[in-house]
Amino acid sequence: MGWERELFGVLDDLEQQAEAAYDLERAAELADRSRAEYQQVTLASRLVASLDREVVLEVRGVGPTAGVLERVGTGWCHLRAPGQDWVVHLPAVLAVRDAAERSVPEVAWPATARLGLGSPLRRLAEAAERCVVRTVEGTAHDGTLSRVGADFVEVRTGGTGRVVLVAFTGLAAVQSRDP
Residue 107 vs residue 35, higher pLDDT: 107
Q: What angle do CA 60, 66, 70 make, to 5 degrees?
A: 105
- At residue 120, does pLDDT exceed 90? yes
Q: What does the domain layout of the chain look like in residue ranges? A: 1-39, 43-177
Average pLDDT over residues 94-113: 92
SS3 72: strand
Q: Which helix (H) or strand (E) holds 89?
A: strand 84-89
Q: What would the pLDDT profile of 60-91 be if each residue is shown by its tens digit?
A: 999 999 999 999 999 999 999 998 999 999 99
Looking at CATH, the fold of the domain delimited by 43-177 is given as SH3 type barrels. (2.30.30)
pTM summary value: 0.79
